[in-house]
Amino acid sequence: MIPDQDKMDLILKAAIAAPSADNSQPWYFKINEDNLALFIDEKRSGSISDTRYVLSDLALGAVIENISIQASALGFGTKITLLPDEKANPLSVAQISFSHSEKKDFSLADAIYKRYTERRIKLKGPMPEVLKEKLLLQSRGFPDIKLYWLDNKQQYHTALKALQKAESLRFRNQYLHEELFSSICFQTGLNGICKEGLSPKFLAVEPPLWPVFKLLRHWPVMRTLNFIGMANILGFRSAVLPARLSAGIAVLAVKSNERKTILQAGRALERIWLQATSDGLCVQPFAAAGVLSLGYIELETAYQHQLGEINTLMKTLDEQSKGLIFIRMGYYSGSSQLPNGRRRPSTQFRH
């Protein structure tokens, strides 16, 4: 069954509030008589970092979880079928059917619209152990997913090296660089908000550095500055420094790189993020190191050694699972931010 129009609108509104890499929103929906079908939107997916739809699947996993959470708050249970026809149509990600439920769960629904990515550097701590345990509990509902904290010094320093190499590579390689900067809405100005892509006001670029940052979108400028180590500087500033100053760093890992497992990782990430939001924590995920270590992304021969180093570092963290996403958390003393913009719900589904 499909809920009535008003409730379905609320469910879709929650769905499109899900996070996605660079706010690409790589999804669309079809409402049938019996179910809601979720698809990857090829126009907004398949970039070099999204090889084999890893980033799209993570985003759609978060969409699925938001749908399930919002439906539960409205008094509906959900039956979720992942990849219902993977061989014939790999873009068909899930079918969700709804049924009436007497038990409503409001525990995470309110956090859906409060969730955002905190890129500002300073996150105060320390994090109480009771909060860490609450976040761990949210991941345990997915048997192929593992969340662990980098409390071990050796693991912590290994993670920082992986972050440094992965984030630097995004500025060192032309294709990764162009992919990153193409997602930024420079046309809105420093304080603008865009419906798709990354709004400059949420990138935590210090205002005096904004003119320089705008110049870096041009590959000839970036390539030239890389001769004096600019990629390493940006990798340190964008990931390593924020990680060092956070109250806690966790790793979301998967037991395999199968698509269903990646979708479940997206679901787990959203539940962890919403729980953190409910408890007043700020969150920033880093996916580059994990995604690059999967071995799907094809770069020129000159970069294979760096990819190999990232893969080795990620394996060192945990030989039994594949680290997919680093998550930094903590408290921010300043005013709270809002999420990036979203496309209108009316553009999100096709009958």
What is the average pLDDT score of the chain?
A: 92
Tens of pLDDT along 97-126?
999 988 888 889 999 999 999 998 788 888
Q: How many CB atoms lie within 10 A of CB 305?
A: 9
Rounded CA-CA distance 302/288 in Å is: 18
- The alpha carbon of residue 350 and the mean position of all alpha carbons in its chain are separated, in whole angstroms, by 25
Q: How many residues are listed for the chain in this entry?
A: 351
Q: Are 83 and 94 in contact (CB under 8 A)?
A: yes
pLDDT at 201: 83
pLDDT confidence band for 214 (50 / 70 / 90): very high
- The single-letter DSSP state of residue 126 is P
- CA-wise closest residue to 175 among 289, 48, 288, 302: 48
Task: Tell me: pLDDT of 335 over 70.
Answer: no
**Model confidence, pTM:** 0.95
Q: Are 261 and 193 in contact (CB under 8 A)?
A: no
pLDDT confidence band for 10 (50 / 70 / 90): very high
- The single-letter DSSP state of residue 90 is T
Output Rg (C-alpha) for the chain, integer angstroms: 20
Mean pLDDT of 142-160: 94
> What are 91's two structure tokens?
């873009």
Which distant-in-sequence residues (6+ apart) come within 8 Å of 222 by Cβ?
171, 177, 216, 230, 231
- CA-wise closest residue to 172 among 135, 227, 128, 215: 227
Backbone angles phi, psi at 35, to 5 degrees: -155, 170
In CATH terms, the superfamily for domain 129-330 is NADH Oxidase (3.40.109.10)
**CATH for the 5-113+342-350 domain, from 3.40.30.10, 3.40.50.720, 3.40.109.10, 3.40.640.10:** 3.40.109.10
Q: How far is CA 25 from CA 39, 190, 195, in A?
A: 11, 22, 10
Q: Are 345 and 9 in contact (CB under 8 A)?
A: yes
Every domain range in the chain assigned CATH 3.40.109.10: 5-113+342-350, 129-330
Q: How far is CA 21 from CA 54, 59, 179, 183, 283, in A?
A: 10, 7, 11, 9, 14
Q: Are 263 and 104 in contact (CB under 8 A)?
A: no
Which distant-in-sequence residues (6+ apart) come within 8 Å of 164 by Cβ?
232, 235, 236, 239, 240
